[in-house]
Amino acid sequence: MADRLTSVIDIRGDITAASEPALMAAYEEASQQGARRLVLNFSGLEYMNSGGIGMLVTLLVRANRQRQPLAAYGLSDHYREIFELTRLDEAIGIYDDERSALAG
Amino acid sequence: MNPLACPAPRRLASFALPSVPGTERIALTQVADSVAHLNLPPQRLNKLKTAVAEVTMNAIEHGNDNRADLAVDIEVFYSGSEIIVTVTDHGGRGDSGWADDGDDAEIPDLYRKLSGDQGPRGWGLFLIRHMVDGMEVTVEGERRTVRLTMRAPVQEGQAGELRHIGG
């Protein structure tokens, strides 16, 4: 279970450039509620393209400014590989499941 | 059989899509369906789908300026050892968003992006090059074609079914 300093953002469906308003709104809401750490749940991810990767970079820039570490879990093998290729796995802690991501 | 006679690649699919953002999802599904009988390992198939989606997105956005009246033409071939996907748009005379000489494209760097030295986007060409074995861009008049290749050697089994060998 997330503590009040950690927020989990559940991602469902597609992550593309068009997802930016929804994801940033979720980030803003979590930040306003005092989240000091954010965990992205990719279990429901169906498709992500280069626009979505760019959007995650934008999210990282904003989170870094606020000194809010990002973590993620639920990535398929394919998208884990893409995270490694883009080095997103160096900036976002990657975990196998929610429990380990929250314990991170 | 004459070993010097190489049969032409067999066309597996040919279709056109309107240049509407999001249509790349249809492209990757149709390409995947057309090669389903080749029994690619899942990780290879996912890579092919990602590359096809990225090329199609570029064709829609940069080649055809998101104009729904302009089609992106996609064909899928199989040579017996290689899957070939061609994606053609009308971006031959305009800014394709990619240099035709791919080496000129700036390599995206996460840390430069995080520091603001690069914009957050620009990952498409980078992804494609890591997903497939080959990519070529040719221009003929106003038509620009991106040709993707992925090695997929197949051995025909005793029952006549196709089995994928190698990785």
Distance of alpha carbon B76 from alpha carbon B96, whole angstroms: 22
Interface-testing mutation among A19, A50, A58, with chain B (most B C-beta atoms within 10 A): A50
Q: In chain B, how long is the greatest CA-to-CA distance?
A: 60
Domain for residue B42, yes or no? yes
**CA nearest A38: which of A66, A80, A76, A77?**
A66
Q: Which residues contact A70 (CB under 8 A, 6 or more apart)?
A: A37, A38, A39, A40, A59, A60, A63, A91, A92, A93
Distance of alpha carbon B5 from alpha carbon B8, whole angstroms: 9
Domain for residue A1, yes or no? no
Q: ipTM of the assembly?
A: 0.91
Domain for residue B96, yes or no? yes
Which residue in A58, A82, A88 is closest to B110 by CB distance?
A88
Distance of alpha carbon A75 from alpha carbon A83, whole angstroms: 9
CATH code of A31's domain? 3.30.750.24
Q: Which residue has the higher pLDDT, B96 or A66?
A: A66
Contact B59, B96 (CB under 8 A): no
Tens-level pLDDT at each residue, chain B (167 residues)? 555 666 799 999 999 999 999 999 999 999 999 999 999 999 999 999 999 999 999 999 999 999 999 999 999 999 999 999 999 999 887 655 554 444 446 889 999 999 999 988 889 999 999 999 999 999 999 999 999 999 998 654 433 444 444 44
With an 8 Å Cβ cutoff, are B121 and A82 in contact?
Answer: no
Task: Assess whether pLDDT exceeds 90 at residue A98.
Answer: yes
Domain for residue B90, yes or no? yes
Quote the percentage of chain A above a pLDDT of 90.
Answer: 94
Residue A92 tokens, joined: 């976002």
pLDDT band at A83 (very low <50, low <70, confident <90, very high): very high
Interface-testing mutation among A15, A53, A56, with chain B (most B C-beta atoms within 10 A): A53
Domain of residue A33 covers 6-103
With an 8 Å Cβ cutoff, are A78 and B53 in contact?
Answer: no
Structurally, chain B folds into a number of domains equal to: 1
How many CB pairs lie under 8 A apart between chains A and B? Answer: 64
Q: Which residues contact B116 (CB under 8 A, 6 or more apart)?
A: A61
pLDDT band at A104 (very low <50, low <70, confident <90, very high): confident
Single-letter amino acid, residue B105: A
Residue B80: Cβ within 10 Å count: 12
Single-letter amino acid, residue B25: R
Q: Quickly tell me which residue has 């991602």 as its tokens.
A: A11
Distance of alpha carbon B11 from alpha carbon A73, whole angstroms: 40
Domain for residue B23, yes or no? yes
**CA nearest B58: which of B137, B142, B111?**
B137
Domain for residue B159, yes or no? no
Q: Which residues contact B91 (CB under 8 A, 6 or more apart)?
A: B59, B62, B63, B64, B97, B142, B144
Structurally, chain A folds into a number of domains equal to: 1
Query: pLDDT value at position B128?
Result: 95
Domain for residue B66, yes or no? yes
Distance of alpha carbon A19 from alpha carbon B103, whole angstroms: 30
CATH code of B128's domain? 3.30.565.10
Provide mean pLDDT across the span A33-41.
96
Domain of residue B82 covers 10-153
Task: Assess whether pLDDT exceeds 80 at residue A96.
Answer: yes
Q: Which residues in chain A are contacts of B124 at CB distance < 8 A?
A: 49-50
Residue B162 tokens, joined: 């196709």
